[in-house]
Amino acid sequence: MRRFSWTALAAASFLAAGAAPLPAQERAGAQPLPTVAIIGTGTVGSALGPQLAKLGHPVIYGSREPGREAVRTLVARTGPRGSAATQQDAAARADVIVLAVPAAALEELVTKGLGRTDGKVLVDVSTGAMRKAADGYMELVPGPSNSERVQAWAPRARVVKVAIPGAYVIPQPMVHGVAPTVPIAANDRAAKETVARMIAGIGLDPFDAGPLRFSRSIDEFALLFFVPLQQGRAEGIEMKFLRSSYFPCFWPVRKQFGAPSDSADHATFPATGTTPRPCAAWGGR
Ligand SMILES: NC(=O)c1ccc[n+]([C@@H]2O[C@H](COP(=O)([O-])OP(=O)(O)OC[C@H]3O[C@@H](n4cnc5c(N)ncnc54)[C@H](OP(=O)(O)O)[C@@H]3O)[C@@H](O)[C@H]2O)c1
């Protein structure tokens, strides 16, 4: 797998603020950014692709019908870094593969449709498998998450679970006044960092959600999105985590529960931009 320099993404905060940074590959000394295959040209794929291309990523849409008029239009909208191919060709030429297909299509796609994905970053954006519970609200189907299943189907791929917001947010990350938080779970540090930088680059707020098994927690949390909608309220939700420097001051969780096994190797995420308040300023517990 190629190695990349991420200096080109230092301009991410400009994007979030609405200013236009220089196209990444036109900046002096910038290395090419990873090529991204976006498998599926539906709501998520067509929102994500143009934003990643704007950052400087070559974007290859992997479609069942790459010659279709709608796909050609999407490629044109993506600009000179955009192209389309079959799902397998797109995956073969990419470093990062985003699985922007219905969850029901994941198994066939990952086991047969993509070819070898060894060493590649495989991004799962699906919501968990749900069903209606006895009370009429949704519940998760028990068992492994989709991300864990993807990892089992492609054991040598570097699977990353990304809890993306509604696709309508992706081209306008500040539409609600703040950048929605995007929890990211993965076992592979470098893969997690790669995806975190892409998410920050498009102006969203990446959050390190721990190892891949936390994809289950993300899926449980995602059930909350359905509650107001099922209740018939005139509102849905997007997710924003407020970072608080209070807890590290007064809640010695590491002393209580110990440090996790990957402590020496936590991912480095782009800065959140918030300044921690000194412990003394909280005035005690
Ligand atoms: N929509 C959102 O706002 C949103 C938000 C968070 C998460 N998600 C998740 O993101 C994933 C994609 O959602 P979406 O809304 O983009 O879906 P979508 O609009 O239905 O698009 C999915 C695309 O996948 C391809 N596809 C469809 N059936 C396939 C199959 N059987 N095998 C292979 N490829 C197939 C199609 O592209 P081609 O015709 O070009 O092959 C299709 O346009 C889902 O897991 C969804 O839960 C969506």
114: closest CA among 60, 51, 162, 52? 60
- Pocket test of ligand 1: the residue of 44, 114, 224 to mutate, having most ligand atoms within 8 Å of its CB, is 44
Number of neighbouring beta carbons within 10 Å of residue 253:
10
Domain map (residue ranges) of the chain: 7-282
The alpha carbon of 276 and the centre of ligand 1 are apart by a number of angstroms equal to 39
pLDDT tens-place values along the chain, 285 residues long:
444 444 334 333 333 333 334 444 445 557 789 999 999 999 999 999 999 999 999 999 999 999 999 999 999 999 999 999 999 999 999 999 999 999 999 999 999 999 999 999 999 999 999 999 999 999 999 999 999 999 999 999 999 999 999 999 999 999 999 999 999 999 999 999 999 999 999 999 999 999 999 999 999 999 999 999 999 999 999 999 999 999 999 998 999 999 999 988 899 999 887 888 899 998 877
* Closest ligand 1 atom, residue 46 Cα: 16
- Residue 147: phi and psi, rounded to 5, are -65, -40
The alpha carbon of 167 and the centre of ligand 1 are apart by a number of angstroms equal to 11
Place of tokens 């994500």: 48
> Atom 35 in ligand 1: which residue has the minimum CA distance?
101
pLDDT in tens, 205-218: 999 999 999 999 99
* Closest ligand 1 atom, residue 66 Cα: 40
* Ligand 1 neighbours by CB, cut-off 6 Å: 40-45, 63-65, 71, 100-103, 105, 109, 125-127, 164, 166-167
Pairing of strands 158-162, 59-63: unpaired
Q: Can you tell me the distance from the alpha carbon of 159 to that of 119, in angstroms, rounded to the nearest whole number? A: 10
Q: Can you tell me the distance from the alpha carbon of 188 to that of 262, in angstroms, rounded to the nearest whole number? A: 10
pLDDT in tens, 188-198: 999 999 999 99
| pTM of the complete model | 0.91
> Atom 15 in ligand 1: which residue has the minimum CA distance?
43
* Closest ligand 1 atom, residue 108 Cα: 32
What kind and span of H or E run contains 219? helix 215-222
* Best CATH choice for the domain 7-282 from the list 3.40.50.720, 2.60.40.10, 3.40.50.11540, 3.40.50.2000: 3.40.50.720
Q: In 3-state terms, what secondary structure has residue 31?
A: coil
269-275: Cβ within 8 A, 24+ apart = 269/193, 269/196, 269/200, 269/206, 269/207, 269/208, 270/9, 270/12, 270/196, 270/197, 270/200, 270/206, 272/205, 272/243, 273/13, 274/243
* Closest ligand 1 atom, residue 45 Cα: 16
> Atom 27 in ligand 1: which residue has the minimum CA distance?
101
What is the per-residue pLDDT for 151?
98
Give the CA distances from residue 204 to residues 35, 106, 123, 189, in Å, rounded to whole numbers and listed in that order. 20, 25, 16, 19
Pick left, alpha or beta for residue 21 (phi over 0 → left; psi -120 to 50 → alpha; otherwise beta): beta
The alpha carbon of 188 and the centre of ligand 1 are apart by a number of angstroms equal to 25
